Amino acid sequence: MASISSLYADIDQKNYKPVYLICGGAELLISEVVDYLIAEFQKDSLSSINVRQLDAEEVEPDDVIEEACTPPFFSDRRLLIVKNVDKWSQAAQKKLLPVLKNPPSFTVLVLIGESPAKLQTISTLLRKKNGLISAEAPRDRDLIGWIRKRAQAKGKNISGPAAAHLLELVGKDLRELSNALDKLIAYTDKTRNIEVKDVLDALNDIRTRSIFELTNAFGNRMLVTAIKSVRRLLETGESPLRIISMLDRQLRNIWQARVATQQGKSISDLAEIFSTPQWIAKKFATQSKNYTINEIKRAFELLYEADKLIKTTMVPSEDILELLIIKICSKQDMATTANNAGFLAAEE
C-alpha cells in the first residue's frame, strides 16, 4: 500500500493512475489531498464541469459506473471522486470490478473509504495496480515529527519542545493540531522560529489552560484542581467524550512511564519511547509514581465505564465526569472500589 505522498507526486507530475482507492481514518489528510487534486484538475479544464463528487451512501455502483464512462467536456480527462465506498456491501463493490479492471482512459476515479477491512473486494485488485493509498494518521510517537514537518512546509521552524507542548495542549486529533498550528503561525507572523513561549502565548485561552491544568492535576492526583478544570472545560463547550479521551491519553502515558521505570529505564530512554523532550518524559515519570499498576488498571476500567455512561444514559455528563475524577484521584476511593466494576452505574 502506497503512502499518501505518492499520490501527491502523481498529481505534481500529472502522471495519474486510472483508479485510486484511499483507505484510512485520517480525514484531514484525505480532504487535503482531494482538495489538491481538484485544484490541479480545475487548472486544466473548464472549472468544475469535469470534476464530479459522489457519496456512496447516496448513489449505487451503477451510478458510479455511468459517471466514470461519461466522456469529459472539452478536455482530455475528468475527475470522479466517490467517498464512503466502504459503506457498500461486498456484493455492491463487486459491481465495480469490470470498470476497475478496464477503466476508461479519460477518467481518473478516486474511491475513498475509512475501513480497509470492508474494502477487500476492491483493495485486492487495486493493490496489484499500485492504486491503493494509505491515509492513516501518524502514530502517537510520530506526531511531533508530523507537526514540525507541517510547520516547515509553511515556512516555520518549530522546536521539538514547542511541538511537544503543542501536542500536549491540543491532543492528537490532526485537524485540531493543524488549526492550532495555523493559529500559532499567524501569531508569530514574520518570526521564523517558534518556541515554547510562543505556544503558550498564542494558545493562552481558558480552554487551553484548563486542558493543561486538567492533565497535570489528573497525573498528580490533585482532586480539587482536576474537578475545577473539568467544570471550566465543560463551560467552554468542550465535549465530555473528548475530556474522557484526554484523560485516557494521559493515563496511557503514565502507564507506559510506570512500566518503563520499573524496568530500570532512564529519563533519556523514556524521552525516546515517547518521542518527546526529556522534561516531558521526566514529568510522566514523576506522575507515574502517584499510581500503582493496579490503580492504573482500575482507572482504565473507570474511564471505559464513564465513556459508556455518557453515550448510553441520561445522567448529566458533568456528574459522571466529576465522579470519575473523584474515584481516580482519591486514593481512598481507588482502594475501596478496587473490586467494584459497576460503581459508576450504581451512583446514577
**In 3D, which of 159, 166, 236, 247 has the Cα closest to residue 203?**
166
The domain segmentation of the chain, as residue ranges, is: 2-134, 144-202, 213-346
Helix ranges, the chain (H): 4-13, 27-44, 61-68, 90-94, 97-101, 120-128, 143-153, 160-170, 174-188, 196-202, 206-219, 223-235, 240-262, 267-274, 278-288, 293-312, 317-329, 331-336, 343-346
What average pLDDT does this structure show over 26-36? 93
For strand 132-134 and strand 2-3, is the pairing parallel, antiparallel, or unpaired?
parallel
Which range, of 171-180, 187-196, 298-307, 334-343, averages the lowest pLDDT? 334-343
**In 3D, which of 168, 189, 143 has the Cα closest to residue 28?**
143
Q: pLDDT above 90 covers what percent of the chain? A: 56
CATH class of 144-202: mainly alpha
Q: How far is CA 169 from CA 106, 176, 221, 240, 267, in A?
A: 47, 11, 19, 16, 21
Residue 67 has pLDDT above 70, yes or no: yes
Task: Name the grid cell of 133.
Answer: 493509498
Residue 340 has pLDDT above 60, yes or no: no
pTM greater than 0.75: no
**Which fold does the domain 213-346 belong to in CATH?**
Zinc Finger, Delta Prime; domain 3 (1.20.272)
Residue 131 has pLDDT above 50, yes or no: yes
For residues 204 and 270, the model is more confident at: 270
The pLDDT of residue 220: 93
Question: Which residues lie below 8 Å from residue 325, measured CB to CB, with a gap of 6+?
Answer: 218, 223, 226, 227, 230
Which range, of 38-47, 173-182, 254-263, averages the lowest pLDDT? 38-47
Cα 86 versus chain centre, distance: 19
Most confident of 207-216, 228-237, 275-284: 228-237
Residue 126 has pLDDT above 80, yes or no: yes
Residue 127 has pLDDT above 60, yes or no: yes
Residue 240 has pLDDT above 70, yes or no: yes
> What does the alpha-carbon distance between residue 342 and residue 231 come to, in Å, rounded to a whole number?
24
Reported as a single tens digit per residue, the pLDDT across 155-178 is 999 999 899 888 888 878 899 899
Q: 304-336 as b/e, with b when 16 or more CB fall inside 10 Å?
A: ebbbebbeeeebebeebbbbbbbbbbeeebbee
Residue 124 has pLDDT above 80, yes or no: yes
What average pLDDT does this structure show over 60-67? 94
Under the banding of pLDDT at 50, 70 and 90, the label for residue 346 is: very low
Whether the CB-CB separation of 44 and 71 falls below 8 Å is answered with: no
> What does the alpha-carbon distance between residue 299 and residue 312 come to, in Å, rounded to a whole number?
20
Q: pLDDT above 70 covers what percent of the chain? A: 93
> What does the alpha-carbon distance between residue 175 and residue 26 come to, in Å, rounded to a whole number?
9
Residue 206 has pLDDT above 70, yes or no: no
What average pLDDT does this structure show over 310-335? 86
The pLDDT of residue 344: 53
What average pLDDT does this structure show over 232-260? 91
Instruction: Specify the CATH superfamily of domain 2-134.
Output: P-loop containing nucleotide triphosphate hydrolases (3.40.50.300)
Reported as a single tens digit per residue, the pLDDT across 174-200 is 998 999 999 899 988 878 999 988 888
The pLDDT of residue 171: 79
Residue 348 has pLDDT above 60, yes or no: no
Most confident of 199-203, 222-226, 330-334: 222-226
The pLDDT of residue 47: 57
Whether the CB-CB separation of 72 and 39 falls below 8 Å is answered with: no
Mean pLDDT estimate for the chain: 87
Whether the CB-CB separation of 307 and 244 falls below 8 Å is answered with: yes
Under the banding of pLDDT at 50, 70 and 90, the label for residue 299 is: very high
> What does the alpha-carbon distance between residue 183 and residue 328 come to, in Å, rounded to a whole number?
34
For residues 268 and 82, the model is more confident at: 82
What average pLDDT does this structure show over 267-295? 87
Beta carbons within 10 angstroms of residue 12's beta carbon: 10
In this structure, is the dihedral angle defined by the CA atoms of residues 36, 37, 42 and 43, taken in order, positive or negative? positive
